[in-house]
């Protein structure tokens, strides 16, 4: 069978019937799918009602694509996946360890290791599941199943202009190019950029050095509006030199100005933190479908978990913040997607700005920095730096990565990050504690070999995904809405195929999209009668070829399946259909699916050209 025929065979299993699901019908013989999605009729009667509860059944046996994702495993089967980096005293990776060398405990209780594999460049463990490879699909068929089959970890670089001053952005670009000149040929790298509220994918995974270097060269420095001093150098003085020290300015006014500046800076920090954590969550959703470990090198000046009190103000806690819970949530999403974060401080080795040659010897309010005031200023700056590095360290430790700061060789930090995360062991277990109470559970891994240092995720929150989704429907809807934006990188946490059917010119301009969701990625609930239930939302958003929003459609497909029908579906796809009416022209369709039980999301882009209708053609005659 050729690669172009195989996707057609996959889609022979895709079909939908529009009758309402009832338990005594769920095991009845379904109508077989006798048409390929690319040639399916545009009649709504042959597909699922976009908002109706329609049973999803399948009868045709099809090749099952290999699929495995840590996020899916956690959400559906409760398997806890732990990637372990083992190094010797010299920091070199240790190979040759077996499953019997490891032991793993959760909250002090020994757990049985059910999955074990070893990954390093050029090595493929016999027990490791290969990645599903994207086929050469016909023009009207699309899939978001990852197209890379790495033999070790995938590597991602996040260039952070939102939290980094312009001079340091330029320095990072030069250091990144320096690394790419010496990067190994077999190392797949993707590059993202964060310069505002939206995360951008500059380059998907590739091993082509020239492509990566061109992308990095084109990434221009930009001034972040959310930094107090985005261009670097001395800060602008808000008052004439000496005015605040002269006694002519009432102390209450000065204190009010200082409090306002403090709160304004903290408010900007709030927005930066929200944008940055949103970007981390988007990356987690985008990479969740890629099996195995992903190393995220986040090159940034960072943001602090805490903004400490300023004891120079009357209200010492004005503008103070704590972002611990939000960072914990983002770290959980990254861990579920098997992403280890390697933060790299873009500033390199830091010295106090008060000893810089360009320092005026005054603060922002024109006051002379002498005596106790200088000590307080230096202490505040030191605390801010410690908070930033502490945030980097915390995120790295939570996810099993490493933080790099107080060093000028950023290219070396990137290289060490990639090297560190390329050789690792994967351990997985089913927790013996079945009480999903939302509390944090500590993971402790030991190895029965002397002189070996292990690094891995610290633990996980024992959240019931269904409970989380049920309690935050508005938030989940907002997440799905954001994922459907053409500016957001595609998500792979929920894998699916889609056939897009464009009608011939004389027909109405109804574009039909047949979705086929990988059923193993969905969460099915089994009731006392043995009937399996699942709900998936599918949606289509149309944009012009210039990226302008046009319209959206969406709805929910519901499955109510008795055991026999459920078994058949597991050999096929979970179907859903949407019909969107568009005028003639060129469009980019953002196609998306969401598991309503777990919140897992998958998206992809499809380009279509809608022909003119018969009426339009006649008007031209």
Residues 352 and 492 in one domain: no
Residue 173 inside a domain? The answer is: yes
Burial of 466 (0-12, 13-18, 19+ CB in 10 A): middle
In 3D space, the residue among 297, 282, 302 whose CA is nearest the CA of residue 153 turns out to be 297
> Side-chain half-sphere of 562: how many Cα atoms within 13 Å?
11
CB-based contact 224:164 (threshold 8 Å): yes
| Both structure tokens of 259 | 């409090």
Residue 77 inside a domain? The answer is: no
User: Based on the structure, what is the number of domains in the chain?
Assistant: 2
Residue 52, Cβ neighbours under 10 Å: how many?
Answer: 14
Chain centroid to Cα 531, Å, comes to: 33
Distance between CA atoms of 221 and 165, rounded to whole angstroms?
9
CB-based contact 147:133 (threshold 8 Å): yes
Distance between CA atoms of 21 and 1, rounded to whole angstroms?
36
Residues 273 and 359 in one domain: yes
Residue 221 inside a domain? The answer is: yes
Residue 105 bridge partners (DSSP): 110, 444
Residues 477 and 368 in one domain: no
| Inter-helix orientation angle 324-336/251-287, to 10° | 10
User: Residue 551 is part of a domain; what is its CATH number?
Assistant: 2.60.40.10
Residues 251 and 351 in one domain: yes
Residue 88 inside a domain? The answer is: no
Residue 133 inside a domain? The answer is: no
Distance between CA atoms of 323 and 213, rounded to whole angstroms?
35
Residues 321 and 186 in one domain: yes
Residue 246 inside a domain? The answer is: yes
Residues 250 and 393 in one domain: yes
Residues 355 and 499 in one domain: no
Q: What is the structure's pLDDT at 175? A: 95
Residue 11 inside a domain? The answer is: yes
Distances in whole angstroms, Cα of residue 104 to Cα of each of 99, 118, 581: 11, 16, 54
Element (H, E) at 512: strand 510-517
Residues 40 and 176 in one domain: no
Residue 555 bridge partners (DSSP): 538
Residues 472 and 394 in one domain: no
Q: What is the structure's pLDDT at 22? A: 27
Contacts for 90 with CB less than 8 Å, ≥ 6 apart: none
Residues 30 and 161 in one domain: no
Q: What is the structure's pLDDT at 34? A: 32
- Examine the fold and report which residue of 420, 449, 481 is the final residue of a domain before the chain moves on: 420
| Both structure tokens of 570 | 């597991």
User: Residue 360 is part of a domain; what is its CATH number?
Assistant: 3.40.50.410
Distance between CA atoms of 72 and 372, rounded to whole angstroms?
56
Residues 165 and 238 in one domain: yes
Residues 388 and 474 in one domain: no
Q: For residue 547, give its domain range.
A: 5-68+466-620
Encode 172-187 in three state secondary structure: HHHHHHHHHCCCCCCC
| Both structure tokens of 424 | 């690792």
- Give 470-508 as a DSSP string: HHTHHHHHHHHHHHTSTTSPPPBSS-EEEEEEPPPTTS-
- Give 589-619 as a DSSP string: EEEEEEETTT--EEEEEEEEEEPPPHHHHHH
Distance between CA atoms of 388 and 391, rounded to whole angstroms?
5
Backbone angles phi, psi at 441, to 5 degrees: -115, 125
Distance between CA atoms of 322 and 357, rounded to whole angstroms?
34
Q: What angle do CA 248, 249, 253 make, to 5 degrees?
A: 165
Per-block mean pLDDT, blocks of 10 residues, the chain (621 long)? 40 34 30 35 32 33 38 58 93 93 96 92 48 62 80 87 94 95 88 92 91 94 89 77 80 82 83 91 90 92 61 44 74 88 91 67 76 74 83 88 93 93 92 87 94 92 70 80 93 93 74 94 90 95 94 95 93 94 93 92 93 69 63
| Inter-helix orientation angle 70-77/324-336, to 10° | 100
Residue 428, Cβ neighbours under 10 Å: how many?
Answer: 20
CB-based contact 141:499 (threshold 8 Å): yes
Residue 274 inside a domain? The answer is: yes
Helix (H/G/I), strand (E/B), else coil: 251: helix
């Amino acid at each position: 069978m050729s690669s172009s025929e195989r996707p057609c065979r996959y889609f022979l299993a895709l079909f939908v019937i529009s009758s309402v699901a009832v338990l005594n019908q769920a095991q009845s013989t379904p109508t077989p799918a006798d048409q390929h999605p690319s040639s399916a009729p545009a009649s709504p009667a042959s597909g699922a009602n976009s908002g109706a509860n329609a049973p999803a059944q399948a009868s045709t046996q099809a090749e099952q694509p290999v699929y495995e994702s840590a996020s899916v495993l956690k959400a559906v089967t409760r398997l806890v996946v732990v990637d372990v980096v083992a190094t010797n005293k010299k920091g070199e990776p240790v190979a040759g360890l077996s499953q019997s060398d490891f032991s793993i405990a959760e909250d002090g209780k020994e757990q049985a290791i059910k999955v074990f594999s070893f990954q390093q460049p050029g090595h493929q463990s016999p027990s490791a599941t290969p990645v599903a490879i994207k086929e050469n699909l016909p023009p009207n068929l699309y899939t978001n199943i990852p197209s890379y089959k790495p033999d070790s970890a995938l590597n991602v670089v996040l260039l952070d202009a939102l939290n980094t001053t312009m001079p340091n952005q330029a320095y990072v670009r030069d250091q990144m190019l320096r690394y790419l000149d010496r990067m190994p040929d077999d190392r797949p790298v993707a590059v993202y950029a964060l310069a505002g509220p939206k995360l951008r994918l500059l380059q998907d995974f590739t091993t082509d050095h020239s492509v990566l270097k061109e992308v990095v060269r084109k990434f221009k420095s930009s001034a972040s509006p959310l930094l107090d001093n985005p261009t670097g150098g001395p800060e602008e003085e808000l008052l004439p030199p000496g005015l605040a020290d002269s006694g002519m300015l009432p102390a209450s006014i000065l204190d009010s100005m200082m409090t306002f500046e403090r709160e304004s800076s903290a408010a900007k920090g709030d927005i930066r933190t929200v944008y940055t954590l949103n970007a981390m969550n988007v990356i987690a959703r985008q990479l969740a479908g890629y099996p195995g470990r992903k190393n995220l090198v986040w090159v940034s000046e960072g943001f602090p978990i805490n903004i400490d009190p300023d004891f120079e103000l009357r209200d010492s806690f004005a503008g103070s913040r704590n972002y611990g819970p939000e960072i914990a949530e983002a770290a959980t999403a990254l861990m579920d997607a098997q992403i280890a974060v390697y933060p790299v401080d873009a500033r390199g080795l830091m010295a106090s700005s008060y000893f810089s040659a360009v320092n005026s010897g005054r603060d922002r309010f024109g006051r002379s920095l002498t005596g106790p005031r200088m000590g307080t200023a230096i202490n505040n700056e030191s605390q801010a730096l410690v908070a930033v590095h502490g945030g980097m360290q915390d995120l790295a430790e939570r996810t099993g990565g490493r933080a790099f700061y107080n060093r000028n060789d950023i290219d070396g930090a990137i290289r060490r990050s990639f090297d560190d995360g390329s050789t690792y062991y994967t351990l997985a277990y089913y927790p013996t504690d079945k009480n999903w109470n939302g509390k944090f559970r500590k993971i402790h891994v030991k190895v029965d070999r002397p002189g070996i240092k292990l690094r891995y995720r610290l633990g996980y929150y024992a959240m019931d995904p269904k409970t989380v989704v049920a309690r935050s429907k508005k938030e989940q809807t907002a997440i799905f809405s954001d994922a459907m934006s053409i500016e957001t990188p595609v998500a792979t946490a929920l894998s699916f195929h889609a056939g897009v059917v464009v009608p011939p010119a004389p027909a109405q301009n109804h574009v039909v999209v047949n979705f086929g969701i990988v059923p193993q990625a969905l969460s099915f609930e089994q009731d006392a009668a043995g009937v399996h239930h699942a709900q998936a939302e599918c949606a289509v958003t149309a944009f012009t070829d210039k990226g302008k929003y046009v319209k959206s459609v969406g709805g929910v497909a519901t499955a109510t399946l008795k055991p026999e029908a459920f078994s058949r579906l597991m050999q096929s796809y979970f179907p859903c259909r949407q019909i969107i009416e568009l005028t003639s022209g060129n469009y980019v369709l953002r196609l998306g699916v969401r598991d309503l039980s777990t919140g897992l999301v998958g998206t992809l882009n499809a380009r279509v050209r809608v022909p003119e209708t018969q009426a339009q053609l006649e008007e031209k005659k």
